[in-house]
Structure 1
């Protein structure tokens, strides 16, 4: 059955993992014949959306939208906001949602992040599906006495982006809330195998993340410093930006990595496939990452990926395509050095890309998502709310 799906996100389309996620969902759903609209704050690089997708903007939040860990288009953070400020954000979302719903008339609303925005969406009286991306769970923990999502005031279905997030979130939902763990898909049309650039350059590793504390850029630099002893011509590329960048630049200098490390800042989505293909390995370092879409995208381009053995990243491990390691132990240094000094063949990189396509294909995810939407609509029609 064709639905009219309104997908809402608390940050713009470009500049965050959840923004990448909603664009992939919207594109896939539109190809399947659904009517799709997005509602986000304005900001970021404007690109033409695929046919069949409308984009509404929450103009009141232009440049002032808060986020959990920072965004290239707004420095405002939820951390430190007062209860009155948080309620003000919720009211702003209600005002932004109401005219869109009246004019566009969705049959289901898919809200990103199970917190303030979802609270606003629940006031619309429509079937609501919410995706928990993990960043909101500590905030729900902090306000546990409020019981924000309780019986009679909860989404009709909840999606967690990993089993780790599902376990962390479950205590904040009524026991009868339909709650599935669905690993995020990626855009296979954009992120796919491609041959590495010409040989003859120095070995390169990459760290692709927002530069915020929990991403552990400091650990990446420590690993880099140890690798330089084994791979003297190593080049480390740090792709992303954020509040921790000045501290990481100082740490890089302190560790003697000035000639080995390049801070490239935020890179446009369109350029990221070539960025990944030009790396010999990607090393992720967050032990509490809810999922880690960049790891999937890098592997889809053929690049070897190393992830900590905990959190959502640990669930992605599938050697030799994505290898896990103990974050604070030294064994990973020899493993990465081996990849750098004994480069993989192109056929090995192609196999990695095929593995990712089979495991994280958008089409199979959309099959599950359509079932979730149908179940949410039936749940609402059955008198649940």
Structure 2
């Protein structure tokens, strides 16, 4: 059996708790050996089962050399030596801004690079970056991303068709962008023991409490849901800058909400096993940022939990509307509430959707299947010499 090729997986910070999908994608690889590299190691996700390299040096001389090299678009010799020892054939960067930092590494090692675009990195309006609202360091981000897309050995992966369309609108050549869904581990996300019709009327939201996740519309919708179904509960799993606003909104409307904060994957699984449905009411934010897909939609359906969503990409590509859940227009609180009431009141529809969800995910989004397709992309892109 031939030796596995090595791919460098790049992310500036390793890894936020919301990016378990990157870790799971790495673990699902079988043909390629992955080395996870980045500037800083966080304490949010356990990475002991991954091969990890932290590039940020510890002593001040090395840090100064690193800053100077990065300014000129190169990398320090000690970084080049360390990574060259891995004998990589390809680098895969997640998120557009990280790709700009990864490209000097790819160029120094003379290897091709793939970039996965996830959402904010391509949906956010160019003028928002270019007027400095993303911070002074990101003023030139749109221009630099398009310059990167002109490099012959750089290709792009979009996490949904919606993201691919947006990337092309942004100016990235169409022939350079392919769609690859991340997928979920259908063995890790499986239906719970309690039949869905025997569960209390719990509605679960999972996501960061930021504008694009649209949690406020769910809080508003649940006010009318709870008037019709007094026992209905809303459980919000996640944290973020909008939490104080959402807590005040719930108090003003009289919506009963349990804010659970950010939680690990096992906690989310337990809550899904006790829920009747999951809602992801994502919207397009003021700056253009929007959901790339919404992986939690797949996790819920794989767990036998119907979904109600307006997530761009996810509402079209990530569910079967009327079969495994319901799609609704962004910010349409009335329709969101009506769909939730239907699923909480109609056991026949609820049971049918709960049964079809796991089959849909297993057929289309099984992580092992998606990993094989990803490795085929790696094989093809690594072969590019110019």
Tell whether the structures are fold-level matches, with TM greater than 0.5.
Answer: yes
- The residue aligned with 1:321 is 324
Is 2:335 the counterpart of 1:331? yes
- The residue aligned with 2:182 is 184
Match for residue 368 of structure 2 among 363, 369, 381:
363
How large is the RMSD of aligned CA atoms in angstroms? 3.1
Deviation at 1:304, TM superposition (A): 0.9
Is 2:1 the counterpart of 1:4? no
Deviation at 1:168, TM superposition (A): 0.9
Partners of 2:5 and 2:33 within 8 A in 1: yes
Partners of 1:207 and 1:282 within 8 A in 2: yes
- The residue aligned with 1:69 is none
Count the aligned residue pairs: 349
Partners of 2:323 and 2:353 within 8 A in 1: no
Alpha-carbon distance in 2 for matches of 1:208, 1:327: 17
Alpha-carbon distance in 2 for matches of 1:373, 1:200: 45
Is 2:96 the counterpart of 1:114? yes
- The residue aligned with 2:27 is 27
Partners of 2:36 and 2:51 within 8 A in 1: yes
- The residue aligned with 2:249 is 251
Alpha-carbon distance in 1 for matches of 2:57, 2:347: 50
Alpha-carbon distance in 2 for matches of 1:148, 1:156: 11
Secondary structure at 2:373 match in 1: helix
Deviation at 1:127, TM superposition (A): 1.5
Deviation at 1:349, TM superposition (A): 2.4
Deviation at 1:294, TM superposition (A): 0.8
Report matched runs for 1:56-71 at 5 Å. 56-59=53-56
> Any unmatched runs of 5+ in structure 2?
59-66, 130-139, 284-289
Distance change >3 Å, CA 101–CA 263, structure 1 → 2: same
Partners of 1:280 and 1:343 within 8 A in 2: no
Alpha-carbon distance in 2 for matches of 1:59, 1:284: 36
- The residue aligned with 1:123 is 107
Which 4+ residue blocks in structure 1 deviate beyond 6 angstroms?
A: 86-93, 197-201
* TM-score relative to the length of structure 1: 0.80
Residue deviations 1:85-133 (CA, integer Å, cap 9, x gap): x999888995696454133221111110123434433433212111111
Q: Greater helix share, 1 or 2?
A: 2
Deviation at 1:57, TM superposition (A): 2.8
Distance change >3 Å, CA 145–CA 156, structure 1 → 2: closer
